[in-house]
Chain A
Amino acid sequence: MTAMNAQLVLIVAAILFILGLFGVLTRKNVIFMLLSIEIMLNAAGLAFIAAGARWGQPDGQIMFLFILAMTASEVSVGLALVLQIQHQHKTLDVGKLTQLRDEAVAD
């Protein structure tokens, strides 16, 4: 694998990461924010795989495995939080979850 190919893969990973970042910043629904975080983690894993393939070492793939396990646990906790938010507030809009806001600042 040449250096130019690795550069191309890194560019694709950067584009995917930026798309995920825009998703987190622009969407208000909690489920869409979780999906965008998934996209960002996947793009980071793609960069790891590209680096591992560039030097022919298995370390990049091992880092991807760790990212995979971390993503699985993060998704399970995040979806449990989504269920609790829906159950207690009857909404998934993060703009409406204002219980932590300071009242003096809010008014």
Chain B
Amino acid sequence: MNLLFYISSAIAIIATFMVITRYHPIHALLYLVASFLSVAMIFLSLGAPFIAALEVIIYAGAIMVLFIFVVMMLNLGDDTAKQEKQWLTAKVWLGPSVLVVILLGELIWLILKGNPSSVEISVVDARKVSAALYGKYVVAVEMIGFLLMAGIVGAAHIGKHHRKLTHRFLAEPQNGNGADAIQEIQKEPLETVN
């Protein structure tokens, strides 16, 4: 357990340090994926394989992909193609790739070693976790369901783009910055019909 844990935590700390010092969001996201994968390896060495799988699938998979989608949406400019070309240089992906390849080596070593219980630690497996989750924590599971529902509704409401319509009597000559929010009346398109 010890060597795996030391290597994984060293990679996690290095990758996290690289995340908070990058200038470009995509570089930081790549390093953050490496950091989450190494934290998943720490979980595996701590005897929590189910949580390690969830860390890879949900954190490094779903949440980071959501971040990448938003970064791609924000960068829809005129020089998108140039940026794509710029992002695919070796300098960008080499650092995270080296860190992840070290993690892959750890995983292959762990698999080739054969006995899964050779981690020399008491594994709390998914059976125990789910028995407790739907046993004494069932109320908390329902409340987490409410929280996810509120998150969906909140994201759908906030993400909706309101069209700003300026009334023709209040219309001013363009002052350039467009930040004069007092003069602009927010209306739904349906309300203007009525």
Contact = CB atoms under 8 A, between A and B. Distances in A.
Interface residues of A, number: 58
Contacts of B46: 1, 9, 49-50, 53
Given A53-B121, A83-B73, A84-B158, A46 B39 contact: yes
Interface in A43-84: 46, 49-50, 52-53, 56-62, 64-66, 68-77, 79-84
Most buried by A among B46, B122, B137, B156: B46
A69 B148 CA distance: 7
Q: Give the interface SS of chain A, mostly helix, strand, loop or mixed.
A: helix
B70 to A, nearest CB: 5
Given A15-B13, A19-B20, A61 B51 contact: yes
Nearest to A69: B144
B20 A77 contact: no
Contacts of B133: 58, 62, 65
A5 interface: yes
Q: Give the interface SS of chain B, mostly helix, strand, loop or mixed.
A: helix
A53 B35 CA distance: 21
A75 B63 contact: yes
Interface of A: 1, 5, 8-9, 12, 15-16, 19-20, 22-23, 26-27, 29, 31-32, 34-36, 38-39, 42, 46, 49-50, 52-53, 56-62, 64-66, 68-77, 79-84, 86-87, 89, 92, 99
15 contacts: A5-B2, A9-B9, A19-B17, A20-B20, A42-B39, A46-B42, A49-B46, A50-B46, A53-B48, A53-B122, A57-B124, A65-B54, A68-B54, A68-B58, A73-B147
